[in-house]
Structures are given as C-alpha cells and as structure tokens.
C-alpha cells in the first residue's frame, strides 16, 4: 500500500465537496435539458420561458460554485488536490455560463429560426453534461476508474464533434447568408454553444488529472 493510500485511509470521508460537486453537475444536466427543449420548440413564448429557466439555473450554479470556494477556504484537509477542486469548480461554472450566454444571445438577438447545427450542438452539450455528472459521481471512492475514464473519452469525442459542426456551420453561413447582421447573430450563437463543449472538455481534463494523482 502506498503512503498516499495509507494517508487517505485516515482522512474522514468528505461530506462537503462531493455533495456540492454532484449538485453542481446535476444542475448542468438541467441546464442542458432546458437548452435542448428551448431549441426544439416552435412556441416562442415557451422558448422565452425556458431561456429564463436557464438564467435561474445558471444563478443557482453560481451559488454552488461560491459554496465550493467557501469550503475550500475553510478546510485544510480536502478529498483531492486543492488546485483541482478550484479548477473543477471553475470549469463547471464556465459550462453553465456558456450555456446561459448562448441562450441569452438567441433571446436578445431575436434568433427565432433555430438551425440544425444549433440543435446538434445543444444535444452534444447535454450529452457531455450527462457524462460529466456520471464521472463526478464516481469521485467519492474512485472505485470505478474505468467509468470515469470512459466518460472523459466520450466528452473529448463530443468536443471534437462540436468543432466539426461549428466549422461546417460557419462555413455554410459565409457561403449562403447574404445578410451581414444575421451572419453575425448566428455565428455568435454557434460560437457560444461550441465553447460550452470546450469547457466540458476542460472539466474532463481536470477529472483525468485527479485520476492520475489519486488512483
């Protein structure tokens, strides 16, 4: 048994950080679900309500992130590296920010016609959030390392798919969209959605770092 394993044996089971991270990642799934619902409805009144729900969930995520940082400042002993706790909390917060930012752009820019690439990116964001939540749930005891690693691989694959969809969609915009204002609107929305998947990959990279240090 390694010295680190012996040390971990005597550390009390964490009752602060893991529940907060699980709550935070579950909130991401709710954000992703609301986003998918919003881009798939033709009811503009319902879509506006869903955008407001996304704003409220993003604020809830901000509060959870604040609690994580507060616990980090109060606790000397943490379940894993303090820097990784900070990085993971920040990455989750960034995902929520970009989901909210994308929804806000669609609302503020009056993007009423939702294109297939927007729907595809929304679906990928939800998938990445679901995988992230599964992986974070396994951090409590690190018994299922394979599941965490597989989730991280899928998130990386999702980010690559999002890159392709974004590049193709922007290329088609430049080829086909003659209205410069519309081009800017849609490019901004697509960029926000694609960046959300980048942030999911950042969170997956933190999880992989935690595995290397603690597994």
Contact 167/59 with Cβ under 8 angstroms?
no
Instruction: Count the neighbouring beta carbons within 10 Å of the beta carbon of residue 183.
Output: 15
Contact 69/16 with Cβ under 8 angstroms?
no
CATH code that applies to domain 14-214: 1.20.58.220
Q: Looking up tokens 């602060």, which residue turns up?
A: 16
Contact 52/108 with Cβ under 8 angstroms?
no
Rounded to the nearest 10 degrees, what angle do helices 82-108 and 116-137 cross at? 160
Output the pLDDT for position 15: 64
Q: What is the signed CA dihedral for 148, 69, 129, 44, rounded to 10 degrees?
A: 180
The string of pLDDT tens digits covering residues 43-99 is 999 999 999 999 999 999 999 999 999 988 887 677 778 888 899 999 999 999 999
Q: From CA 210, how far away is CA 196, in angstroms rounded?
A: 21
Output the pLDDT for position 76: 66
Closest CA to 5 of 142, 208, 136: 142
Output the pLDDT for position 215: 63
What is the pTM assigned to this prediction?
Answer: 0.90
What secondary structure, in 3-state letters, does 35-92 show?
HHHHHHCCCHHHHHHHHHHHHHHHHHHHHHHHHHHHHHHHCCCCCCCHHHHHHHHHHH
CA of residue 67 relative to chain centroid, distance: 18
In the chain, % of residues over pLDDT 70: 92
What is the chain's alpha carbon radius of gyration, rounded to the nearest angstrom?
19
Output the pLDDT for position 72: 84
Quick check: 26 pLDDT over 70? Answer: yes
């Amino acid at each position: 048994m390694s010295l680190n394993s012996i040390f971990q044996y005597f550390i009390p089971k964490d009752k602060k950080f893991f529940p907060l991270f699980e709550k935070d990642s579950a909130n991401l799934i709710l954000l992703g679900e609301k986003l998918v619902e919003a881009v798939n409805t033709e009811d503009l009144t319902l879509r506006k309500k869903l955008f407001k729900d996304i704003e409220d969930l993003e604020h809830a995520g901000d509060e959870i992130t604040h609690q994580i940082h507060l616990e980090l400042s109060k606790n000397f002993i943490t379940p894993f590296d303090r820097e990784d706790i900070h990085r993971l909390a920040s990455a989750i917060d960034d995902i929520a920010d970009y989901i909210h930012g994308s929804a806000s752009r669609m609302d503020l820019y009056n993007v009423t016609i939702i294109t297939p690439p927007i729907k595809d990116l929304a679906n990928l964001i939800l998938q990445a959030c679901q995988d992230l939540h599964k992986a974070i749930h396994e951090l409590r005891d690190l018994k299922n390392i394979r599941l965490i690693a597989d989730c991280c691989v899928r998130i990386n694959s999702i980010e690559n798919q999002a890159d392709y969809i974004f590049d193709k969609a922007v290329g088609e915009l430049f080829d086909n969209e003659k209205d410069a204002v519309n081009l800017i609107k849609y490019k901004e929305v697509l960029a926000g959605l694609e960046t959300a998947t980048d942030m999911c990959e950042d969170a997956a990279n933190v999880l992989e770092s935690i595995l290397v240090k603690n597994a």
